[in-house]
Structure 1
Amino acid sequence: MARILLTEDDESVRAFVKRALELDGHEITEAEDGGIALEVLDARRGGFDLLLSDIMMPVMDGIALALAVARDYPNLPILLMTGFADQRERAFGLDSLVRDVISKPFTLAEIRAAVARALIERSAAEKIA
């Protein structure tokens, strides 16, 4: 189905999300932080359908990653995840760049639904363009 770049520093959360999204047939590429995610994006020339990233990460956080991705790959939809209310507030300043901010902890159904919505919105936007 979709190629998703999953950026999350917590290995257990990354594994949970990866398994959840693979249930829907998505191809998941993992990155442990924003710096690695940008390297992967550059190596694949942005060849993903969605970026799903945690906000709080070492090296490069999800906000910095979202800003870089929006600049370099403006057609790549971005979903952010966070367990911290103050980080969620930071992300709301990026409304025009980020499709949604998903609060942790989330269920398998919630993450799958959020990703499905973002992919549907992307598909609809491509049809209009």
Structure 2
Amino acid sequence: MPRVLIADDEESMRKLVARAIAMDGHETVTAQDGAEALDILTREDGAFDLLLTDIQMPVMDGIALALAAARDFPNLTVLLMTGFADQRERASNLNAIVHDVITKPFAVADIRTAVADALATRKE
């Protein structure tokens, strides 16, 4: 069962995404910001198949989290989410470490498909 770490500062979004991808049998762990997600990654020695993170969050944003995760856990697949065009532009420079950027709002089917695609192509 793939393990997915979800980081988003909006509780409703965290819950929606966690429920959506749990429908496909994935184990989910959630964090309310990048710093908490990085703490979880470090504590669990990167034992996740996918990091799914919002870009714009307080404390540590998703881009800083993606950079730290790629540095510390190079086999971890990273999928970003954002509702802001300028944030998507910032992420475009991260093609080497980020699988894709999903634009909010999205349908449940869209996030499930994006997660399935990211997991199917993850680094071994």
TM-score normalized with structure 2 length: 0.98
Structure ID, larger Rg = 1
Post-superposition shift, 1:6? 0.3
| 2:28 maps to 1:28 | yes
SS at match of 2:114: helix
| 2:123 maps to 1:117 | no
Post-superposition shift, 1:111? 0.1
| 2:77 maps to 1:91 | no
- The 4+ residue runs of structure 1 with deviation greater than 3 A are none
Cα distance in structure 1, aligned partners of 2:91 and 2:82: 9
- Over aligned residue pairs, what C-alpha RMSD do you find? 0.6
SS at match of 1:93: helix
Structure 1, unmatched stretches of 5+, are: none
Cα distance in structure 2, aligned partners of 1:113 and 1:95: 19
2:14 alignment partner in structure 1:
14
Structure 2, unmatched stretches of 5+, are: none
Cα distance in structure 1, aligned partners of 2:59 and 2:11: 16
SS at match of 1:75: coil
How many residues in Structure 1 have an aligned counterpart in Structure 2?
124
Cα distance in structure 2, aligned partners of 1:26 and 1:119: 10
Q: Sequence identity, in percent?
A: 62
